[in-house]
Amino acid sequence: MAKIEIYSSPLCGFCHQAKGLLQSKDAAFEDINVMMNRTKKAEMMQRAGGRTSVPQIFIDGHHVGGCDDLFALESAGKLDPMLDGAS
């Protein structure tokens, strides 16, 4: 199984949607709360090419993007292979 990291905020609806999609696939992920943690927020921004919005999602170290990007991968049939570690 792939290593999944999600930088998120507990008040973010898009974060909950992205996590819900991954949970529906029984994909385990590390949820990194950036709401009150400036260090983690800076880490997220550095890894995500300066993006400041949440969620920012990484699969096996590869930056996937945000919630819309995750759902676009799902619609294109590309998410499952990534979750299986084949991409």
Which residue segments constitute the domains of the chain, with CATH numbers given?
4-83 (3.40.30.10)
Beta-bridge partners for 33: 8
How many alpha carbons lie under 13 Å from residue 23 in its C-beta half-sphere? 7
Average pLDDT, the chain: 96
The whole-angstrom separation of Cα 28 and Cα 18 is: 12
Could you count the other beta carbons within 10 Å of the beta carbon of residue 57? 25
The whole-angstrom separation of Cα 26 and Cα 14 is: 19
* Whether the predicted pLDDT of 86 surpasses 70: no
Write out the two tokens for 74: 């799902």
Give the pLDDT band (50/70/90) at residue 34: very high
* Whether the predicted pLDDT of 38 surpasses 60: yes
* Whether the predicted pLDDT of 87 surpasses 80: no
* Whether the predicted pLDDT of 21 surpasses 70: yes
